[in-house]
Chains A and B, each alone.
Chain A
Amino acid sequence: MLFSVVHPMHIPDGFLSVAVSIIMWIISIAMIAIALRKVKNELGDREVPLMGVLAAAIFAGQMLNFSVSGGTSGHLLGAAIATILLGPWTAVLVMTSVVSVQALLFQDGGVLALGANIFNMGVVGVFVSYAVFQLLQKAFGKQKWGLFVSGSLAAWTSIFIASLACALELAISGTSPANIAVPAMGAIHAIIGIGEALITLGALAFLYATRKDLFEKSSKKLNGNKGILIGGGIIAVVLAILSPLASSHPDGLEWVAEQKGFLEMARAAFYNIMPDYAFPGISDPNISTIVAGILGAVIVFGVAFGIARLEKHSATQE
């Protein structure tokens, strides 16, 4: 099967706490809203087909791989090349579409966790690529090799930093201890990033040789996004500093505790509404739980049975 590539950065549901998921959703929605406004203002209606087709190309391009050794392979995620070709805001929308379709259709990444996945690959990936690419481009001037070096370094850094964001989200959710998640995710993606960098390099070299004008066109879109430049720089620096800190103080993520406190409060509220467990008549909490469990299961199966009967009935009517 072609889509059996497991992307280690697509977090499924269940691995992030609901609080973290919702916060990541809010951040992602805010970024998408800004991107939508920017794209609408700056670019014409030509962009919609371009974004749609390129999103499909990135989705399909993630199938492109090359064997390294021992069954491992390098493949493409595409945030950096999308940023370089399309400009940052357009790339945010394209990556958002790619990640959303992967989650909604192929269960590659969760639905509740989609906000976090959009943030990691669509926002962090694009912003960091942009910041690295622009800074290095400026440093190298208008050299041809400058484009290639900054493009591949942008690709590597975007993968690496996005994986740190992913690890921190897992750690804050209490899924992986930070002192394991951060080094493990970081190390794996430092290697995966090399594959990304090499493929991006090859792609840039090919495009430069065949359609140089694409870069001239895109450099206009690339310039003058100070906000993203600063944002991407800050994300990269903060995550690079925060992650080792978090992994050396795994208990320092007080967030987990806070959330637990919240959950306890919610549960206490429920207990206050219905004291002494679900069945007031039965004093032993264990028996009460078992009774409630059996009753619940019976109700659920009864409902399913009822619906099945109804359906059978309607099927015979047809």
Chain B
Amino acid sequence: MLEQYRDRNSLIHTVHARVKIIFTLVFILAVNLTPAGTWTGFILYFSILISIIMLSRLGIRYVLKRSLFALPFILSAIPLIFWGPEPVNHIWLLNRVQVPFSLVGLERCISITLKAWLSVQAAIVLTGTTPFSSIIEGFRQIHVPLILISIIELMWRYLFVIVDEVTRMMRARTSRSTQIGKPYHSGGSVLWRAQVTGNMAGSLFLRSIERSERVYAAMLSRGYTGEPLSVSSTNLSKKDQWITVFSCMMILAVFIFSLFTGR
């Protein structure tokens, strides 16, 4: 349930991970550089994205549902509508309350929302169509430091184990103390609950430190020397190279177009 990768038989799945990483980065960068209020530009980006989502067979509903995750953050851009850049007009609501309103601010707020939404969907397509190991392999190929890569690989390997552990701890807590039904006294004051949670966190860290010692011993016994192993990497095929060039050109074209049409 943690794994975001969805195994499908689609064109997008077969594209090399490096190509997808580069495309996602270019796409997000272009969307974010696009000036506020460039509605035609945003529509074009969206149509590119929608065609990729359709090709990837991830299911539009799946992507849309997951893309709502970024929504709560929009709260931080909403003040722009009222106290945004000049000119700020005042509007009477129901002839009673006067509300400040900035058209430029509204435009910027909607643009930020659209940018966030488009960017998050691009990232969902990347993680949905690429297994984590391939993404990591892609990052290795674009020269992210090896130590960081090995930390993240190990983290990924034990994440499932430790998430299971935390789930068990929380279930144990629920059954023993904090959420006992109404007629009984349910688990003490807020401070007490905080302390219990803190102890659980401490216990989790302790178990993890001990686990890491076992992991280290196991790695050592199998020939670990401290140097991360580098796996031979596959090169981009002709097809992958063409896809990279072509898709990035398409994004660039939309971006240049948006510079002309934006205000």
Least distance between A215 CB and chain B CB atoms (Å): 12
The answer to whether A100 and B152 touch (CB under 8 A), given A2-B167, A57-B208, is yes
Partner of A52, one of B33, B135, B212, B256: B212
Interface size on A, residues (CB 8 A): 107
Partner of A105, one of B4, B145, B193, B209: B4
Partner of B170, one of A64, A108, A181, A314: A64
Contact string, B124-148, partner A, CB cutoff 8 A, digits 1/0?
A: 1001000010010000000001011
A85, CB-defined interface residue at 8 Å: yes
**Closest A residue to B33 using CB positions:** A18
A140, CB-defined interface residue at 8 Å: no
Please name all residues of chain B whose beta carbon is closer than 8 Å to the beta carbon of A60 when the two chains form the complex: 159, 162-163, 165-166, 204
The segment from A129-137, A225-233, A237-245, A303-311 that touches chain B is A303-311
The answer to whether A111 and B28 touch (CB under 8 A), given A55-B151, A56-B159, A311-B11, is yes
Least distance between B233 CB and chain A CB atoms (Å): 19
The answer to whether A101 and B219 touch (CB under 8 A), given A63-B163, A66-B178, A110-B119, is no
Least distance between B24 CB and chain A CB atoms (Å): 7
Bound together, the chains give a CA A56 to CA B119 distance in angstroms of 26
Least distance between B177 CB and chain A CB atoms (Å): 11
A23, CB-defined interface residue at 8 Å: no
CB <8 Å contact, A53 and B35: no
Residue in A33, A64, A180 whose Cβ sees the most chain B Cβ within 10 Å: A64
CB <8 Å contact, B202 and A11: no
Bound together, the chains give a CA A1 to CA B1 distance in angstroms of 9
A-B contact count (CB 8 A): 338
CB <8 Å contact, A101 and B260: no
Bound together, the chains give a CA A106 to CA B254 distance in angstroms of 28
Least distance between B168 CB and chain A CB atoms (Å): 11
Please name all residues of chain B whose beta carbon is closer than 8 Å to the beta carbon of A207 when the two chains form the complex: 202, 205-206
CB <8 Å contact, A111 and B204: no
CB <8 Å contact, A49 and B32: no
Please name all residues of chain A whose beta carbon is closer than 8 Å to the beta carbon of B165 when the two chains form the complex: 60
What is the interface of chain A mostly: helix, strand, loop, or mixed?
helix
**Closest A residue to B86 using CB positions:** A251
Contact string, A252-292, partner B, CB cutoff 8 A, digits 1/0?
A: 00000000000100110011001001100000000001001
Partner of A211, one of B31, B123, B151, B206: B206
CB <8 Å contact, B219 and A49: yes
What is the interface of chain B mostly: helix, strand, loop, or mixed?
helix
Least distance between B68 CB and chain A CB atoms (Å): 10
B103, CB-defined interface residue at 8 Å: no
B199, CB-defined interface residue at 8 Å: yes
CB <8 Å contact, B76 and A181: yes
The answer to whether A52 and B158 touch (CB under 8 A), given A44-B226, A107-B124, A176-B80, is yes
Please name all residues of chain A whose beta carbon is closer than 8 Å to the beta carbon of B151 when the two chains form the complex: 48, 51-52, 55, 93-94, 97
Partner of B147, one of A39, A206, A277: A39
CB <8 Å contact, B148 and A180: no
The answer to whether A198 and B191 touch (CB under 8 A), given A13-B119, A107-B66, A214-B209, is yes
Partner of B203, one of A63, A85, A112, A206: A206
Contact string, B1-30, partner A, CB cutoff 8 A, digits 1/0?
A: 110100000110000000000001100110
24 A-B pairs with CB atoms under 8 Å apart are: A2-B163, A11-B73, A13-B28, A13-B120, A14-B70, A14-B119, A18-B33, A45-B225, A49-B212, A49-B219, A56-B159, A61-B201, A66-B196, A66-B197, A67-B193, A111-B123, A174-B85, A174-B108, A201-B198, A202-B196, A277-B260, A289-B261, A297-B44, A311-B55
